[in-house]
Structure 1
Amino acid sequence: MPIISLFVNACVAFTGFYLISKVFHSQLFFSSRSRGVLIGMLAGMLGLFLMFNGVEVNEDVRVDLRHLPLVLLAFYGARLPLFIATGFIASTRFLFGFTDQAVVAFIATWFVSLGMIWIHRRLSERLFFQSMLLNVWALFVISIAVLINLGWSMSYITLIATIWTIGLLVGLLSSVLTIDLEQAKRRAKDYKQSAERDPLTGLFNRRVWDRYTSELENENRSSNVLALDIDHFKRVNDTYGHANGDLVLQRFAELLLAETRLHDVVARVGGEEFVILMYDLTPEKVEKVAERIRKRIEDEVFVLKDFPPIHITASIGIAHGKSEPVQKMTEAADNALYQAKRSGRNQVILTNVSELSLVTN
């Protein structure tokens, strides 16, 4: 019976949804592209399985739930996997014969996917409504395709009623599963973010800083620890309020990220205290980088709320070394920072820890 076949299809699709979702959220891939190709192929094979186990209305017309893997991929906004799966599912329809009905099914499959992209783009944050609308859109297009192939009749009405009943039911169940997995993934991401990032500036916090710098003395490469402090920051808070002080800190952090490399470690470890870890720069080069940062901060106009814009300055201490303990590097950077402040602030002071070690020994 058609309803039994479609129900079996729905159960298989439901299981496939779960497996593909797990792969989608997996971190066991070298690149997002390789993961996308794999997901697209898995979804395509699931669609092919659903197609082979579909309902054969007559020798030319087949009805199944091959659209369900496409719904999942569209929900995640995974365009590369969606296009791969769509091409796979649409093309394999011709395995049942190169007929006018197969051509209609091929076009309908692509039409379903293109419409899904449009739906996801506009409803990406309304998870449940988006998921159900993706299913409704697919069922609507399928109904039109079957009408073209089968014509209007009582058998068409019965078949479409069955398809919509099973399709909406499995769509509801798959929506609940997919949304649950997506929300679990978002919660895990938020927990990781809160554990690793400073909530105000978005920079790494002290925990991550300690993790990145813990092995400095075991790494056979030159490293630089920069300690930065906003000059007279207490005066900013006292004069303009802590809310404006937070705006200054946020913009200060943005400038640090703009003036450093992607693989540099930038962290906030105190109120107005920031640190940067830079590898493989000579003392001359890191001093130029620090001077560029200092100048960028000095020239920046910091916009405040309910007050005129202000200018601030920063003092920077640098510790340069190779295979030196992190405590030694941090102390040297802090001492250089204090020296910069004692010397009038708004300047860069560098200490070569390796040379000091040679002199001491």
Structure 2
Amino acid sequence: MTLTVLLLNACVAFTGFYIISKIYHSTLFGSEHLRSFIIGLMAGALGLFLMYNAVEANDTVRVDLRHLPLVLLAFYGARSPLLIATLVIASTRFLFGVTEQAVIAFIATFIVSIGMLWIHRLLLERLFLQSIFLNIWALFIISIAIFINMGWGPAFVSLVLTIWMVGMLVGLLSSTLTIDLEKTTRRALEYKQSSERDHLTGLFNRRVWDRYTATLGEEDRTYNVLALDIDHFKQVNDTYGHGNGDLVLQQFADILKVETRAHDTVARIGGEEFVILMYDLTPKKVDKVANRIRERIATEVFYLNNFPPIQITTSVGVAHGTALSIKRMVDLADSALYQAKNEGRNQVVVSTYETPEPIMT
């Protein structure tokens, strides 16, 4: 009977694992804190369910698989959800009676979680081994707690052997399931990133730029498009080789990442051509931002392979407008960039265009 109940609980745990894993990797939540809270509560609720379906060794000692949700969260290194789930599982043990055994279980639950965090950090990249040791640690602490409550005897030996047999079996299966889900998710993210990112610089590519900006003209919102071009970049390639030209492009892109905000869209759309989308900046402010980027580029040292470091400059054309189509804004930015190059390069030109008010008839 004990073995049957534990195996049924394991099946429920597997279902919970799958749902929690999906939520953990979901991008539907606007708040990271909200997602962590929901995951922690779900894992805690799963632990409580497993407690309600526990095997009662005697009138006061209950044995179950409540540690399994904690193993999952520790595997992901989800500290906040693990803390929430630990609090829920440890505290709700008192629903079955405020006894000495409940206090021991409360303490053991926290010891299990603390040890799991250490194991996760120690075996971070060895996924299968990490998962196995997480289960072994939990079963070890559970065995100690049972021994404190029951003492040594045939009943203790029989119960602990059953728990270890089921626990390790479930641990192996859950490890395989969790690792498979993790690898599948990682692979999907890699495919998504490779289709959206420029392979050389890590910035967005033209496909993503076109998708993100397709509906800008439909929004009654002010935005800016910055078009940047590395001055005399052909000379860099001709003098130092295309490999070093790529190094310059990578370092240039890194500077753009640092000098823009997290919600700005930065893309490489051509060889040495870059564009930036910035919302809600006045012409004066966007001119200040563009000049800051230009000055940072001009003072930066760009390192090459087998050649001394060099310095480069960039010209920037800026289009500022409200409710304009992206095509119109890019044309304005390109015209401003062309003007900046004609006027000597290494400078910023801002083109401002406001949508005219409709004529009332």
- Within 5 Å, which residues of 2 pair with 1:309-348? 309-348=309-348
Confirm or deny that 1:196 pairs with 2:196: yes
- Within 5 Å, which residues of 2 pair with 1:208-219? 208-219=208-219
CA RMSD in angstroms comes to 2.0
- Within 5 Å, which residues of 2 pair with 1:10-89? 10-89=10-89
Counterparts of 1:303 and 1:130, CA distance in 2: 40
Tell me what 1:92 maps to. 92
Give the 3 Å change call, closer, same or farther, for CA 220–96 of structure 1 in structure 2.
closer
1:174, CA displacement in angstroms?
1.0
Counterparts of 2:73 and 2:332, CA distance in 1: 52
**Which stretch shows the higher mean deviation, 12-21 or 63-72?**
12-21
Can you list the C-alpha shifts for 1:161-194, whole angstroms capped at 9, x where unaligned?
1111100111111111111211222122112211
**Which stretch shows the higher mean deviation, 197-206 or 13-22?**
13-22
1:355, CA displacement in angstroms?
8.7
Counterparts of 2:357 and 2:12, CA distance in 1: 67
- Within 5 Å, which residues of 2 pair with 1:167-206? 167-206=167-206
Q: Secondary structure at the match of 2:304?
A: coil
Give the 3 Å change call, closer, same or farther, for CA 214–163 of structure 1 in structure 2.
same
Counterparts of 1:54 and 1:11, CA distance in 2: 14
- Within 5 Å, which residues of 2 pair with 1:156-305? 156-305=156-305
What code does the residue aligned with 1:264 have? D
Q: Secondary structure at the match of 2:345?
A: coil
Aligned pairs, how many? 358
Tell me what 2:111 maps to. 111
Can you list the C-alpha shifts for 1:30-51, whole angstroms capped at 9, x where unaligned?
3121222122112112111211
Counterparts of 2:245 and 2:188, CA distance in 1: 31
Q: Secondary structure at the match of 1:317?
A: strand
What code does the residue aligned with 1:42 have? M
Give the 3 Å change call, closer, same or farther, for CA 353–235 of structure 1 in structure 2.
same
What code does the residue aligned with 2:213 have? T
**Which stretch shows the higher mean deviation, 205-214 or 28-37?**
28-37
- Contact 2:318/2:336 (<8 A) preserved: yes
- Contact 2:323/2:355 (<8 A) preserved: no
Counterparts of 1:281 and 1:35, CA distance in 2: 32
Q: Secondary structure at the match of 2:295?
A: helix
Can you list the C-alpha shifts for 1:246-300, whole angstroms capped at 9, x where unaligned?
2211111121122222222111001111011122222222222211111110011
Query: TM-score under structure 2 normalisation?
Result: 0.93
What code does the residue aligned with 1:172 have? L
Counterparts of 1:55 and 1:274, CA distance in 2: 64
- Contact 2:223/2:322 (<8 A) preserved: yes
Counterparts of 1:185 and 1:197, CA distance in 2: 18
1:128, CA displacement in angstroms?
1.4
- Contact 2:324/2:355 (<8 A) preserved: no
1:141, CA displacement in angstroms?
0.9
Counterparts of 1:18 and 1:230, CA distance in 2: 49
Counterparts of 1:357 and 1:54, CA distance in 2: 72
Counterparts of 1:214 and 1:48, CA distance in 2: 48
Give the 3 Å change call, closer, same or farther, for CA 283–28 of structure 1 in structure 2.
closer
Give the 3 Å change call, closer, same or farther, for CA 355–95 of structure 1 in structure 2.
closer
Q: Secondary structure at the match of 2:266?
A: strand
Counterparts of 2:355 and 2:139, CA distance in 1: 73
- Contact 2:322/2:355 (<8 A) preserved: no
What code does the residue aligned with 1:107 have? I
Q: Secondary structure at the match of 2:267?
A: strand
- Within 5 Å, which residues of 2 pair with 1:348-359? 348-354=348-354
What code does the residue aligned with 1:226 have? L
1:357, CA displacement in angstroms?
12
Q: Secondary structure at the match of 2:226?
A: strand
* Identical residues among aligned pairs (%): 67
Counterparts of 1:30 and 1:346, CA distance in 2: 40
Give the 3 Å change call, closer, same or farther, for CA 61–354 of structure 1 in structure 2.
closer
Confirm or deny that 1:124 pairs with 2:131: no
What code does the residue aligned with 1:129 have? L
Counterparts of 1:47 and 1:286, CA distance in 2: 53
Counterparts of 1:75 and 1:179, CA distance in 2: 9
What code does the residue aligned with 2:16 have? G
